[in-house]
Amino acid sequence: MPENEKKRQFATVAVHGGQSVDKTTKARAVPIYQTTSYVFDDSAHAGRLFGLEEFGNIYTRIMNPTTDVFENRIAALEGGVAGLATASGQAAETLTIITLARAGEEIVSTTSLYGGTYNLFHYTLPRLGITVRFVDADDFDGLRAAINEKTKALYTETLGNPKLDVSDIETLAGIAHENGIPLVIDNTSASPALTRPIEWGADIVVNSQPSLSAGMEPRSAASSWTPGALTGPLRRASSPTSSIPTRAITVLATRRHSGTWRSF
């Protein structure tokens, strides 16, 4: 997270986080860049970009300035160093797991999960050769026993869906770290307005943005952010899609204080 973001209050980050004002237009709102491609200064410039020697825009499937603001804003709100927006919450979860584990490996998950996540873990991941072991979030000894040399991550939700049971993030992070694996946590129900799991030891945070910040907006975008990094997107959120939750996030602090959580 940039140093200037660390100095800002939560409400200010929600409104301005991740955005550098366009020097030419001075536009206050985040522009929607509906472009698939970008102009290179010359062939050498293109070579440096594709060679990862210089940061810049190459193709909108890989990066887009509108989506970049969304990713950086959420990362700043969560206290992470980087974010990655995908086209759905399931894409963010899938990307996270297949980045950490491959066929023949395992993850351990707590049992109180959103239905779509359970179906992903119970039915889809085993078809890819990834085994998921389920243990109650408060059964700490059971969680330790379920972790073995093949385990690549411990997964939980801040507030279990639909029971709203509260995970002991700090203890779960301790269990994960003593076994040399990351704690991955779905923070959708709580949102960074109420809790920031990274501050309690979580390593990777995922969210479904329509449910979290956009109050069930009709278009979908999701993100994952981490003190480390994730690579290999399944499908990126488009610039128009990213702009909707980016705007909605601006009132996240207001909704926190007023108690109007349309998501519920």
Domain ranges of the chain: 3-22+64-258, 32-62
The residue whose two tokens read 């926190």 is 256
- Chain mean pLDDT for the chain: 82
Task: Give the separation between CA 49 and CA 40, rounded to whole angstroms.
Answer: 9
Span 109-118, pLDDT tens digits = 999 999 999 9
Helix (H, G, I), strand (E, B) or coil at 8: coil
The pLDDT assigned to 228 comes to 38
pLDDT in tens, 86-101: 888 888 999 999 999 9
Q: Are 100 and 182 in contact (CB under 8 A)?
A: yes
Architecture of domain 3-22+64-258: 3-Layer(aba) Sandwich (3.40)
If we measure between CA atoms, which residue out of 80, 151, 149 comes closest to residue 109?
A: 151
Q: What is the 3-state secondary structure (H, E, C) of 34-74?
A: CCCECCCCCHHHHHHHHCCCCCCCCECCCCCHHHHHHHHHH
Cα four-point dihedral sign 65, 69, 72, 75:
negative
Which of 34-38, 93-97, 115-119, 231-235 is least confident?
231-235
